Structure 1
Amino acid sequence: MKGVKALLFMTGERLAEVFRSPGQTLDAFSNFARCYFYALAFWSLITAKLLHLYAHLYSLPGSQFVIWGITFFFQDVAMLLFLRIIAQRGRTRPLAALGALVLIPFSLIVSGMAAANFSVYVFTGAEIHWKQAKSFTNDAAAIRTLLTGLTGFLVGEAIIVAAAILTGRFVHRVAGGLLHVLAWPLRWLFGRVSTCLSPLRSRLNIFPIRNQYKDLPDPEVYERIALEDDYLNDTPDDESDDAYDAHSSKWDSRPITDRPLPRVLILGAFSLFLLLRILRPPDSVLLFLSGTLPLTTVFQGGHRGSPVDISGVPLGYSYLDGAETLHPPPKWSWMPKDPGPGFRDWEPETHALHYDGAKNPLHISNLQEPLLKPVQKAIADNNLKIKHVVLLKLESARADIFPLRNDSFMRERIAGSYQDNQIPEDVLERIANLTPTANYLTGFDTGFGQDNGIQRSRKAYGGLSARNAYTTSTYTLKSLEGTLCGVSPLVADLNREFEHHIYQPCMPQVFDMLSRQPEITNKTDDFTLWPWHSIWMQSVTETYDNQDKLTPKLGYFDKQTKETIEHPDAKHFPPKTEEVNYYGYADTELKEYIRDAIDDAESNHERLFLTHLTGTTHHPWGLPNNAYEQIMGSNKGHNEDLNRYLNTIGFVDGWLQTILDILEEKGVADETLLVMAGDHGLSLPNDGGITPYDNPHVGNFQVPIVFAHPKLPPIEIKAPVSSIQIVPSIIDLLIESSSIPKDTSNVARDIRSLYEGQSLIRPLIQERDGKKDWQFTVMNTGGTWLSVRSAARPELRLVIPLINDVEWRFSDLTKDPNEDKPIMRFNLADMAHTLQKKYDDEILRWLFDAVYVANWWVKENWDRYGYNPHPKHHDR
């Protein structure tokens, strides 16, 4: 209340000044503006730097923070001193106006940046990378995404503005006093020089001697500080603050800044500050921590000669040097003269190069291995037939909620929201039945003991389900290439793949090539001879980050999206529900369109490849009619967000059951392969992150991967896998189940050999002849971090920075399964030193192997896409 009263009093004082003469009113406003906008810049820079240091608090050894911590404010202090010179009282109004033209826009901009950074950090756990920010401003859907953080932005801005209003005079005067003290050595030096030169000036009768306080080297700067700066004056601007009052001491009438002791203390502290800055090592990490907010938009990231900093890797790593995977494509007799999309590398006139797995020193193939015995038996019994393929890309699907299990971290997280960790019986039954369809499809034992309705009323659907699967990217649009094209996404920020050469044919393009073979016809009842038709479906917008340009590049030209289903000419217009989030409608809006797609395929004698990207489980987790049930015990912290997320998980689980019902209704369930894969996870229950943006937590990487077919027995895949393996596995299953005609199967076998991922229907090989199966994940948004693990040691996980502004991150999931305390360091040398103290030499060798392999792999990735990371050059 005292703060509010003080604010009202100060506002009244300012309003009273308006009723004076116009000159006095202008001066009053000028006095207020100088103090307010300087304080606004001060609090913006200081709070932004404190947040910056807090975000990277455990990234440096504690000793370095203690020694060099104060130097991290050097740029901020220099900028604030410069602004304080601008913000002092000018002799003339033109000079004051000129200073205002600099100070006011600057303070408004940095306060907005500080508030935005605060909002993004609160909602995502990561700071803004300002060089990426411009990519969002030209995207209408992205703007809607950014507006979800508007509340946090307004709160942050309000705090900074209130601090500036309440402390404006004090901050302005204290800074002026400090500047006065720091300028004293220059005034003293100039006074001594002036005294020595005065006899000569008198004889020559030039440069008449002026008052000592006016003889300063810069009449527009130090003269103002020495002669009449407002920290010394009892002006209306300073009446209420006596921090530097000229008469505050009975025994010394000099201002406090002119007394010896304060001068010694201030100059001594500042000298130590300068000395530490001079002695500080020229380390890019320390420079990054020192960066002041406005300069991060210019210098953030920095250029590197190599995508991964391998300066700490020991000598002797050279087995990948010179290795290249791009070679002339193989000659196939069945290839048409016009190969078409996805196969442009085979056009004779292009002389293009194509990825060759046999030349990839990291590639391990398992196609020579026999089929898994349960798959082999299902095929031998002649039960397994695949007419249609439905691929579901599940938005924000964590592995531990597909299905939700009683022994999972998620269940513990729910229990922790209740008193004494005791979940009420009705809530326990609710969460036991939250994901019955996922339980049905995977056959996993959920561990809930009691009979919970349909959870125990039917046997498993059948198929392959991976327990330890990672996505190829935690950015949705990049994750699509891994799942649909069998490639690693481009290591570059945001969706750039649509502009470049996706180096393998995607599934729609593979099916199109199979459909172009001579024996394919729709004039038969034998579905194996029917041509394929690919269709894309999502109930949310496709305009976000150029997705509307990406889906055709992936081979989809028949699409149902938010834009098509809300068009007046749409077959099932209008939509049946309101929009549930800032992207679009609930997934259930597609129900009739899925029915239509199956009917059209059957009547036209076509095989359907239907791909559906769900959207309801995206933040802010809206549901039709806000039909939420209470799952979490309290709404404190992130519990309310988690409650909404879990409700949408249950909603999508019901939607999956609806899709199964449609397949059964249309009579195609026994002949449809249902493939499900998460685009990425969500670390919300772990660290409160509502998006995987720049968040390296393992919860954003673990996803479900399921191949469901009612004629397959339940098969659990325990080996570590990646979504890059989905495409070769689909093709392999179609071939081995004789779901492709005999002559065309040779085409499919040739295409299957192109892909780098191992087939999931065969025994998986983690290591062969010293060669490890390395699995890479391109982190959201693509150009900042890269996650690496090897299938031979899946518990070890390394997140590698691709720019100079973020940390290395190491996790041992055996010791820290929820990644509560990952090891973070700003350079490889510090990371290696830390691991050497905690682990044996084998882990250190794994670290260096991962770094060396990742550096080669990133450069390979760029070559495969024909991408040049340096903007001044043109991409291929």
Structure 2
Amino acid sequence: MKLANTLHALRQRWVPVFHKLRSSPGEAFDLFWEFARRYFFSLAFISLFGAKFLHLFAHLHSLPASKFLLWGVTFFFQDVMILLLFRTLAQRVPWRPLAVVGATIVIPISLMMSGMMASNTSFYVVTGAEIHWRQATSFHADAAAMRTLLEGLAGFLVVEGILLTVNWFVAGFIHRVTGGILHVLAWPIRALVERLRPCFHRAYGSVRRQPLPDPEIYEQIAVDDYLDDKSDDGESDHLLHTGTGSATSMERRRTDTPMRRFVVLGLFGLFLLLRFLRPWAPAYMYLSGTLPLTPFLEGGHRKSPVDTTALPGDYRWLEERSSLHPAPSWDWMPQKGLPGFSDWDKTDRFALHYTPSMDPLQISNRENPVLDSIRPVLEDGSVKIKHVIMLKLESTRGDVFPLKKDSFMWNRIAESYKDKQIPPEIQERLSNLTRTAEWLTGFDAGFEHNDSLHADRKAYGGISARNAHTTGTYTLKSLVGTLCGVTPLVTDFNREYKHHIYQPCLPHVFNALSQQHDITNQTDDFTAWPWHSVWMQSVTETYDNQDKLTPALGYHDKVTKETLEDPSSKHYPVKSEEINYYGYADTELRDYIRDAIDDAEASHTRLFLTHLTGTTHHPWGMPHDEYEEFLGSSWTGHNNDVNRYLNTIGFGDNWIAEIISILEEKGIADETLIVMAGDHGLSLPNDGGVTPYDNPHVGSFHVPIVLAHPKLPPVEVSTPVNSNQIVPTILDLLIESRSLSEGSGRAARDILSMYEGQSMLRPLVQEEDGKQNWQFTVMNTGGTWLAVRSAARPAFRLVIPLVDDLEWRFTDLEKDPIELKPIKHFSLMDMANELDQKYGQDVVDWLRDAAHVTEWWVVDNWHRYRYIPQIKISKDGKISKGKDSGDKDSDDKGSDDTDSDDSEDSKR
């Protein structure tokens, strides 16, 4: 009964309202706009200033303090101008069509800005980086990408909800205060109009003046009715109102006091003066950018992607140099080349190929002998390599492969407990977390194991790099670097597949070896067997066009999430639930791995199996949602994230052990080379970053690299290496272990000579004739930052901006091994000045060398891929889109795709 009465009362109250709205839409709009103009202006105000304060906080240490204090207020100039415009549009106007125009502009743009502010804030909290809105325009709208986007929806909704709620309570105050300020700012214009009014009256008054009607026929206007036409601040809402009359004069006296005018106009004048005195600099322009304009103005590229004008030097040895040269002639290569060897097409007279001898940065170690510790087992024939398995380990940091006692990660776990001590039962769990990695690398993790898990073998055997960095912190770019022995293309996202990957990838190489005259499967000598390449992953291959990349890398036999879900697949249905937004646990591939081995052995083919793991990817889901506890709890949730990550690392470790057991089960463990490399690391335990996106921290770069074989002695490589050295090392091992036939061995030697990376089978050369061994990493997503280090000075890391809106970043890993205090500056000169004060001229010289070497290398990287970026022009030397010089054959090699491909992706 009570419910019925309530519903009846609501009906009685609202039905007349709806009838009135339907009968008079104009009045309905007036009623709505009276509330909305305050609310949505305030929403724009909070969004703009909230986004700007976050923006400045993110780059707080990127400018010298003196410059920040002097020019900091000018970084709000665009925001203030936008808000003054919005406040003008949000005033009450007597003409309804003009109000409609104001509502049409203010409401959607305010909502857009609040959404952008909420997105950027939630993204920054999770990743520690801001969104680059120019990259967001090329978001990949495939199913996997949409699921990735939805993972961050909760954080966005929380921030947006808080923003909308807070705005409800402060909208009136913000609207009132800004209206008062704007009324004062409009005072000079009103004063001018007041002075000009008599002139207009004298000139046109006699023509336009009409006799006044009898005042008796009009009723008097009540003061309250007049006050209804006031804005919230007590001012006339017509900001340029210049009417005379006692009420208006009284209001003006009450609000526009001389002191208020002096303060507001004086501060605003100083604000304008500082803005127009501020010198032009890309850093200032970037920090000044206002939210609604950033997608259109952010991050212009330079003609020289690395701007070194602040630190000139004599680098004529790099000028006009190119690493491209006609490919050498090999008698075993067919007339038109082979897949992956298109540059050997003799019918193309313009074909150019990367040639190490033409690369001014290349340092070779091919003339060095094989490492002393390995040479004996290679010479006596103990090492046989029939099959090669490549495990690309998703998001695997170098310091968790294996986890070591008293390492940074160990101490990070200890800090999660109140007494800074890890409980004994947790220590026991941690000691067994990465037993397989400990065994494979031979690294001493500091734990004592009293079991016989590995039959008293301290190490599996093989080459393990302790100081290895990835070629790219974006997974698909890292794959290209590892599998093709190259550095990825310096541009955003997966573009390598549509351009010229400038070296043959391992599947291409193995296919070329299989074409030699002495290859046959009609023999028991495996060195004469042809190769077969297989790609496996239990996660989707649809993200960012990976399904187009893997064929470009030479893989045509694939097992992916889509295969697992195909009813016609041999082992359908999938035996477990999806563990993350990409797919299933890696262990779903176990039967497919067995099948691949059985097929290879039965058909006398050599298996090259590449497996990209996926379980260690965010959000670090585990089968059946089963987790062990390693860290104490924290209110921020970061400890929980690290705990989930460590659980997946342990899962991955067990999965590698299972793969080895499958090899042993099939009787091929002693004839299989297992190559393991992280695609990138993760700075999660350092700064909470759950993704390497736009994250320059060394934790995102340091990865494990292991080439394991049970007949090799354990060898630790402490010299800095890069993952593009894996391909030449594999080929070198195949050659030196005499695991290739005579014909394919000769072809392998020819191919090996073309790679830029040094083989880890031989002593590495860090510096030669004053030239350093430079190593580059393309940062996620590829076109904004580039990291460089030198094997000769491995402690120094420099992260270089490729667009105007990012900082230079220098760290010294000897003094700051976990990069707690990076030196960051928008200006290279400011960076050099600080390094000179802290380190001296020697480090400034290293900085200069790194910058100039990278300046040359980036352009050469584009030429190698036959990639033509689109670049803008400005008065200071920035150029518009167009082809780079020196790319003679770009049109002949299908490189017509440029950065405009981003627009294509945005439509997908």
TM-score (norm 2): 0.89
User: How far apart, in 1, do the equivalents of 2:209 and 2:114 lie?
Assistant: 46
Whole-angstrom CA distance in 1 between matches of 2:403 and 2:455: 14
Deviates most, 635-644 or 596-605: 635-644
Q: Are positions 1:731 and 2:731 aligned together?
A: yes
In the TM superposition, residue 314 of structure 1 has moved relative to its aligned partner by 2.2
Would the aligned equivalents of 1:436 and 1:455 in 2 still touch at CA under 8 Å? no
Structure-2 residue corresponding to 1:529: 528
Q: Is the 8 A contact 2:477 2:488 kept in 1?
A: yes
Structure 2 partner of 1:263: 261
Say whether 1:788 aligns with 2:791. no
Matched, 1:58 2:61: yes
Separation of aligned partners in 1, 2:108 and 2:209 = 39
Residue matched to 1:347 = 345
Contact 1:682/1:690 (<8 A) preserved:
yes
Give the alignment partner of residue 131 of structure 2, picking from 108, 128, 146. Answer: 128
SS of the aligned residue for 1:493 comes to: coil
Residues 325 and 359 of structure 1 are in contact (CA less than 8 Å); yes or no, is this contact kept in structure 2? yes
Equivalent residue in structure 2 for 1:290, among 269, 274, 288: 288
In the alignment, is the contact (CA less than 8 A) between 2:390 and 2:610 conserved in 1? yes
Task: Assess if the C-alpha contact under 8 Å between 1:395 and 1:678 holds in 2.
Answer: yes
Distance 2:287 2:541 in 1: 38
2:403 corresponds to = 404
AA matched with 1:815 = K
* Alpha-carbon distance between aligned partners in 1 of 2:403 and 2:667, rounded to the nearest angstrom: 30
1:628-658 Cα distance to aligned partner (Å, 9 max, x none): 0000011432100000000000000000000
Say yes or no: does 1:306 pair with 2:304: yes
- For the residues of structure 2 that align with 1:17 and 1:192, how far apart are their CA atoms? 50
CA distance 1:207–1:115, change in 2 (3 Å): farther
Matched, 1:482 2:461: no
Q: Secondary structure at the match of 1:482?
A: helix
Q: Give the whole-Å Cα distance in 2 for the aligned partners of 1:19 and 1:178.
A: 38
Partner of 2:876: none
Q: What's the counterpart of residue 551 of structure 2?
A: 552
State the match for 2:48 in structure 1: 45
Where does 1:504-515 land on structure 2 (aligned, <5 Å)?
Answer: 504-515=503-514
Q: CA deviation at 1:337?
A: 2.4
* 1:538 corresponds to: 537
Tell me how far apart the structure 1 counterparts of residues 159 and 432 of structure 2 sit (CA, whole Å): 40
State how far apart, in whole Å, the 2-side matches of 1:468 and 1:870 are: 36
Partner of 1:576: 575
1:650 is aligned with what amino acid?
Answer: G
Residue in 2 that maps onto 1:448: 447
Structure 1 residues 552 and 207: alpha-carbon distance in aligned structure 2, compared to 1, 3 A threshold: farther
* 1:392 is aligned to 2:388: no
In the alignment, the residues of structure 1 paired with residue 263 and residue 423 of structure 2 have an alpha-carbon distance, to the nearest angstrom, of 62
Using the TM superposition, give the Cα deviation of residue 21 of structure 1 relative to its aligned residue in structure 2, in angstroms: 5.4
Equivalent in 302, 319, 322 of residue 320 of structure 2? 322
Post-superposition offset of 1:247 = 14
Is the CA contact 1:493–1:783 (under 8 Å) kept in the aligned structure 2? yes
Q: Distance in 1 between matches of 2:452 and 2:15?
A: 73
**Structure 1 runs not aligned, ≥5 long:** 1-10, 211-224, 238-245
Q: Shift in Å at residue 743 of structure 1?
A: 2.7
What code does the residue aligned with 1:578 have? E
Secondary structure of the 1:798 match is strand
Q: Distance in 2 between matches of 1:17 and 1:276?
A: 56
Query: In the TM superposition, what are the counterparts of 1:318-717 in structure 2 within 5 Å?
Result: 318-351=316-349, 352-449=351-448, 451=450, 454=453, 457-637=456-636, 638-717=638-717
Instruction: From 80, 96, 114, give the equivalent of 1:111.
Output: 114
Task: Structure 2 unaligned segments of length 5 or more: list them.
Answer: 1-9, 213-225, 238-244, 872-880, 884-894, 897-908
Q: Give me the whole-angstrom Cα distance separating, in 1, the residues matched to 2:255 and 2:777.
A: 58
Q: What is the SS of the residue equivalent to 1:765?
A: coil
Q: Which residue of 1 aligns with 2:148?
A: 145
Secondary structure of the residue aligned to 1:44 is helix
How far apart are 1:94 and its partner, in Å?
Answer: 2.1
Distance (whole Å) between structure 1 residues aligned to residue 154 and residue 452 of structure 2: 41
Q: CA deviation at 1:854?
A: 0.1
Counterpart of 1:273 in 2: which secondary structure?
A: helix
Residue 662 of structure 1 aligns with an amino acid whose one-letter code is I
Identical amino acids, percent of aligned pairs: 60
* TM-aligned CA distance change 1:396 to 1:80, over 3 Å: same
One-letter amino acid of the structure 1 residue matched with residue 273 of structure 2? L
Q: Find the counterpart in structure 2 of residue 802 from structure 1.
A: 802
**8 Å Cα contact 2:514/2:531 also seen in 1:** yes
Change (3 A) 1:690 1:455: farther
Further displaced range: 623-632 or 295-304: 295-304
For residues 534 and 635 of structure 1, the distance between their equivalents in structure 2, rounded to whole angstroms, comes to: 46
Q: Please tell me whether the aligned partners of residues 140 and 543 of structure 2 are also in contact (alpha carbons under 8 angstroms).
A: no
Q: CA deviation at 1:119?
A: 1.5
TM-score, L = length of structure 1: 0.93
Distance 1:181 1:743 in 2: 88
Worse-superposed segment, 776-785 or 113-122: 113-122
Which string of whole-angstrom CA distances, capped at 9 and with x for unpartnered residues, describes residues 466-496 of structure 1? 0000000000000011110001100000000
Cα RMSD of the aligned pairs, angstroms, is 2.5
The answer on whether the counterparts of 2:464 and 2:716 sit within 8 Å (CA) in structure 1 is yes
Do 2:517 and 2:743's aligned partners in 1 also have CA atoms closer than 8 Å? no
SS in 1 for 2:116: helix
SS of the residue aligned with 2:186? helix
- The structure-2 alpha-carbon separation of the partners of 1:137 and 1:543, relative to structure 1 and needing over 3 Å to count, comes to closer
Residue 198 of structure 1: how far off its partner (Å): 4.4
* Inter-partner Cα distance in structure 2 for 1:234 and 1:192: 21
Secondary structure of 2:463's match?
Answer: strand
Distance 1:494 1:268, change over 3 A: same
2:184 aligned residue: 181
Q: Is the 8 A contact 1:43 1:163 kept in 2?
A: no
Instruction: Please state how far the C-alpha of 1:338 moved relative to its aligned partner.
Output: 3.5
**Shift of residue 309 of structure 1?**
0.7
Q: Which amino acid letter does the alignment assign opposite residue 283 of structure 1?
A: A
Q: Are residues 762 and 172 of structure 1, via their aligned partners in 2, closer, same or farther at CA, if it must alter by over 3 Å?
A: same
Write the mapping of 1:73-88 to structure 2, written as runs, cut at 5 A. Answer: 73-88=76-91
In structure 2, how many angstroms separate the alpha carbons of the residues matched to 1:26 and 1:501?
58
SS of aligned partner of 2:139:
helix
Contact 1:466 1:704 in 2 (8 A): yes
TM superposition shift of 1:428: 0.4
Deviations 1:306-328 (A, max 9, x none): 11011112232221001111111
For residues 223-246 of structure 1, the C-alpha deviation after alignment (integer angstroms, 9 at most, x for no partner) is xx99955135599x9xxxxxxxx9
Cα deviation 1:498-521 (Å, max 9, x = unaligned): 100001000000000000001000
- Partner amino acid, structure 1, of 2:92: R
What are the Cα deviations for residues 180-239 of structure 1, in whole angstroms up to 9, with x where unaligned? 11000011122123335544445x6458999xxxxxxxxxxxxxx99955135599x9xx
Query: What are the superposed Cα offsets for residues 38-85 of structure 1, whole Å, 9 maximum, x if unpaired?
Result: 111111111111111111111011111111111111101100110111
271-280 or 592-601: bigger deviation:
271-280
Structure-2 separation of matches of 1:168 and 1:208: 44
Amino acid at match of 1:230: S
